[in-house]
Amino acid sequence: MTISLEGQVAIVTGAGRGLGRAYAMELARRGARVIVNDPGVAMDGAEGSSKPADEVCDQIRELGGEAQPSYDSVASFDGGAAIVQAALDAWGRVDAVVCNAGILRDRAFHKMTEDDWDSVMNVHIKGCFNVLRHAWPVFREQSYGRVVMVTSTTGLFGNFGQANYGAAKAAMIGFMNVLKLEGQKYDVRVNLLAPSATTRMTEDLMPAELVAKFGPEHVAPVVAVLASRDCPDTGLIIEAVAGRIARSAVVRGTGVTYDESQLRDAEWVLANWEQITSLDDAELWWHLQQPLVPADD
């Protein structure tokens, strides 16, 4: 099967460099018309330039594709509206949104400022809301949409000095779990991607021997699947790194049960701690009331 995005319109935020650029180029290569959104800021969100978005658009056009730049910030509600409107003005529809924009304000928690926290939250998780809130009515109207939010293994498992970043990335899990349900009736599929690759955000964190091996081109094909009509699932977390693509998930252990008419004290809880925390026979739940069901149900 050949995955094609011919006739589709995709928005990629943070698409001027690194992974976002790779996503935009891959989607365009497969036929999508792409809004290349990037305000061209530094890693901490400072400054700004139209150059990164313009250069990616030029590269897509040189390959025979169609692309339009967007310099709006995902961190504002009006910016999110403008990004979506750019796609509607150019091509009259939106089929896929890749929420990739991000900044870093790494700092040990005891030194983290309110601005460090708010700036990262505003770009990562509020940025997803700002763009998707304006794309969502379009998806519902056309009964079709694909969403890829870029989370991180920091949000899944933790990483020293990234409390703001990890919290924002973990928040995407809860956001996705609701959107997958609300979008199901309209064939809107919402998934998370947790990539690892060499970018300006990670090159100083990776051992030198890995930098050359962990190219964004290893991750872009996963985005092509998740952003396409062929995407088989919704509500998944997919990790992608050079040499490995895998699913991560939040599961619920079986725990212990007791007669709810009889209270149990803290000593009882501690005595049963091993069984309470065991993940033997853990279950994957689709929503609060029901274990995992097929996406078509």
Active site residues: 165
Helix, strand, or coil (residue 26):
helix
Q: Are 142 and 7 in contact (CB under 8 A)?
A: no
Alpha carbons 296 and 143: distance in angstroms, whole number: 15
* DSSP 8-state symbol, 199: S
Tell me the helix, strand and coil percentages in the chain, rounded to 5.
40, 15, 40
Residue type, 211: V
DSSP-derived secondary structure for 212-229: TT--GGGTHHHHHHHTST
Q: Which alpha helices (DSSP H) does the chain contain, by range?
A: 18-29, 51-62, 77-91, 114-142, 153-157, 163-183, 208-211, 220-226, 266-271, 273-277
Gyration radius of the chain's alpha carbons = 20
Burial of 10 (0-12, 13-18, 19+ CB in 10 A): buried
265: its two tokens: 């004290």
